[in-house]
Amino acid sequence: TGLHAVDGGPARCWGCQGHADYESYHDNEWGYPVADDHRLFEKICLEGFQAGLSWLTILRKRENFRSAFADFDFRKVAEFGDDDVERLVLDAGIVRHRGKIVSTINNAKRALEMVKEEGSLGAYFWRHEPGPEDRPTKLDHATLGSLGKTETSTRISKDLKKRGWSFVGPTTVYAFMQAMGIVNDHLDGCHCREKVEKARATFKRPK
């Protein structure tokens, strides 16, 4: 079923098995709808950093990432220069991948442009909210993220790249959509699925 339960506890999606911090993330964050631009920017950047790694690795470094990248305030990150890149490459608390670090700074600049053009990041991403028929070609709930893609995530990825964003491939975008509640991929039988559905039902989509 893709579910697990420990010592009579609630059934959860398989991906968070055995890790208390992962279970907390699954229960309290993953799939709940988000409109806040800082959180949206943070998540799409962290999904880019995750490429080739597990989300658990990124989750355990998240506070370090927040400290290193000015709490993902893209207005501040957009001002980072070469000295900041060198500082971050030496920061053992984050993933020291020069390309991903440079990408985050680039994407902060692109985020500023998007806010000017679209009103907010939330308005942009939520206008791409898909219908239930747009399902991924492949899902691996063991990672609490998609290893697949959909027509919608592919379309968003292409548009973001056209706008100059980087490290935003279709699978990265779909994992972002899952995490930010743009879709609800908690499995049937997971104790969070109904709560997320209720949250999505009352959520005010940004315009």
- Residues with a known catalytic role: 25, 47, 55
Token look-up 């959180």 returns 39
The residue count of the chain comes to: 207
Please, which residues have CB within 8 angstroms of residue 98's CB and are 6 or more apart in sequence?
85, 89
Residue 70 CA, distance from chain mean position = 18
Q: What is the chain's alpha carbon radius of gyration, rounded to the nearest angstrom?
A: 17
Per-residue 3-state assignment (H helix, E strand, C coil) for 28-62: HCCCCCCCCHHHHHHHHHHHHHHCCCCHHHHHHCH
Residue 85 CA, distance from chain mean position = 22
Reference 113, options 87, 78, 157; nearest CA is 78
Burial of 202 (0-12, 13-18, 19+ CB in 10 A): exposed
